[in-house]
Chains A and B, each alone.
Chain A
């Protein structure tokens, strides 16, 4: 953003979607604003549509009218971007290399919605209009607004403005972040955050780089600094638990050791892995990298949960 708008309501960001009535993204019932663009490339990512910052096309063959329609085989659709193969497969195929330059205007010519753009530019004002619809629910449940991603820290000005505006309107705020960003970005966003849910994906830096694309030194340094600089913010550490990647004692003990000295880290949550994102990879033409994984067994999750409960001085969790 070069020309910064004077009014924070006019600051824009790239938003993937806004989901109401969320119950896992912070306290109470919340509206979650998913921003687009991520600064990691986790091989197990379940949200491929949120990885890249710019809006991009997706294709759902189930909705395609095929040869009866054929609209996307002609201009203004990009040459070679869409095609049919011989045989009885009546659905269009996408050449993702040649279709990459397509925009919303062109995509909207697809009559069935088989082609769709992921991601749109929205102002803080527009997002807040949506968020404010459930103010009474937030009040009754102790909920509020959460910014998730993608990575919220990729759009620090937009995120800070949105969170600030939520506070201005008396709405509780939370963010979900992997914290791979310059500290100055976190410093901009965090003053407006009541709860920060943050991932710790792997404690071993080399393995972190292998599985996510970057090493973890800056992430851990950011987290430590955040705990210390913002004592009134609640922090909740989280790990997407994947057997063969991080579902082991070493990781668990490492995380518990890391967060233990900080009283404002109020919990450590496990997110047992499920194959949520697979269909989405299909429709974006993205190759899913981690096909060989398993979901962690109930026993493993229970054992780790016991370790966490013990570390937080809690009684055993009921199932």
Chain B
């Protein structure tokens, strides 16, 4: 509980879906809180540890002692993980044995009060940000640490989790390229990126792919074919096409299925158990469609590959480790500065506190004039937008 000496009791929780390096954020927050003499507690499994403490032998709310905290990135998340974090729509089985979603936001606030928790640090992105904003409007002192594999959160130049995903994707694309070369085929590799093509474009540049298809630029497959044919007219008879999961393909060919996924807007009405940042089931659809579409128009064989869900595991990259620690410490700094209802943002060279109201409803996509497009162009990578 807050005391006259300004000491606080702060809780930290993580949004749905695991991404590597959560412990770095917790470590940063814990060390910074410890330095101020504040107490930090971890809520287990989203808000579950608070809403249903009876499920946990340790009560669902665990003390995080900076002296004892183990920052080992290989140990998964000390905060556990949840597939749903929306306290406004908690799926329950009611007393009549029927499934329903109930609003438990009041209960959540009451529980926080009962535990004398002054503020909550929430490691969320996407829809989690809106949920946090909604809770903040109801009176929760909240600070957000932005996490996004796609790096699609506006107001911060880089969200926690992106660099690890990018690093892993590059490593996998290197392997895909060798596989394509060995097989003398065209690899069509699907990478994460539902609304923003940062991973696809940056990784595509790093491995000098032949084409990169991203959600920001709808692409006619015929143009990709023309480009590939030009590149493959000499000795090279293999290729590498990187496709973001949300790429918009104008004429995929025979495959009439919708290639973009349904994640355009996430909803509190979601029936999903995995309403985190993406749904694993959908992986592979766009790779399949593009590979089929290309094969119908080109002599070479194509084969689809999907990186998607693989990026969810493993250890955080060096950049994400230090970013995570800095974000965790930044969240405590925000609270120390009397700020809440904010998101910690990294706007080089500064760490800023952006009001949640400004952070929601924006998607950080690749802007038209981005220098990444120029770089891709100079490397001979087709990204769309123009005739090949």
Contact = CB atoms under 8 A, between A and B. Distances in A.
A213 B93 contact: yes
Interface in B310-362: 357, 360-362
Contact of A85 (B127, B131, B363): B363
B99 A288 contact: no
A41 B91 contact: yes
Contacts of B258: 278
A25 interface: no
B281 A290 contact: yes
Given A83-B361, A291-B279, A95 B130 contact: yes
A287 B98 contact: no
A259 interface: no
Interface in B231-287: 258, 261-275, 279, 281-282, 285
B269 A39 contact: no
A154 interface: yes
A263 to B, nearest CB: 29
Interface size class of B (residues with CB under 8 A): 35 or more
A75 to B, nearest CB: 15
Nearest to B261: A291
B97 to A, nearest CB: 6
A21 interface: no
**B interface, by DSSP: helix, strand, loop or mixed?**
loop
A285 B265 contact: yes
A13 B57 CA distance: 43
B265 A93 contact: yes
A136 B297 CA distance: 56
Interface string A31-47: 00000001111010100
Max chain B C-beta neighbours (<10 A), residue from A52, A96, A287? A287
Please indicate which of the listed interface residues B133, B263, B267, B360 has the most CB atoms of chain A within 10 Å of its own CB: B267
B292 interface: no
Interface string A204-233: 000000000110001000000000000000
B86 interface: yes
A88 B54 CA distance: 49
Interface in B131-152: 131, 133-134
B97 A180 contact: yes
B130 A97 contact: yes
A41 B127 contact: no
Given A85-B362, A284-B267, A287-B267, A97 B99 contact: no
Contacts of B97: 39, 180-182, 214, 218
A287 B130 contact: no
A285 B268 CA distance: 8
Contacts of A285: 264-267, 269-270
B99 A214 contact: yes
Interface string A278-298: 100110111111111000000
Contacts of A218: 97
Given A43-B271, A281-B262, A98 B130 contact: yes
B300 interface: no
Nearest to B132: A97
Given A39-B99, A180-B97, A281-B262, A95 B361 contact: yes
B216 interface: yes
Contacts of B131: 97
A80 B357 contact: yes
A240 interface: no
Nearest to B127: A97
Given A56-B269, A287-B275, A40 B99 contact: yes
B26 to A, nearest CB: 25
Contacts of B99: 38-41, 213-214
Contacts of A287: 262-263, 266-267, 270-272, 274-275, 279
A297 to B, nearest CB: 18
Nearest to B368: A87
Contacts of B269: 48, 51-52, 56, 96, 100, 284-286
Contact of A288 (B86, B262, B360): B262
Interface in B87-113: 88, 91, 93, 96-101
A225 to B, nearest CB: 15
A213 to B, nearest CB: 4
A289 B279 contact: yes
B365 interface: yes
A193 interface: no
Contacts of A291: 261, 279, 281-282, 285
23 contacts: A39-B96, A41-B91, A80-B357, A85-B361, A85-B365, A86-B365, A96-B127, A96-B265, A97-B127, A97-B267, A98-B130, A98-B134, A278-B262, A285-B265, A285-B267, A285-B269, A286-B271, A287-B262, A287-B275, A289-B272, A291-B261, A291-B282, A292-B281
Interface of B: 86, 88, 91, 93, 96-101, 127, 130-131, 133-134, 216, 258, 261-275, 279, 281-282, 285, 357, 360-363, 365
Interface of A: 38-41, 43, 45, 48, 51-53, 56, 59, 80, 83, 85-87, 93-98, 100, 151, 154, 180-182, 213-214, 218, 278, 281-282, 284-292
9 closest A-B pairs by beta carbon, nearest first, are: A285-B267, A96-B267, A39-B98, A287-B272, A97-B130, A83-B361, A291-B281, A285-B265, A213-B99
Given A39-B100, A85-B361, 9 more contacts: A51-B269, A80-B130, A86-B362, A93-B361, A94-B265, A182-B97, A214-B99, A289-B271, A289-B273
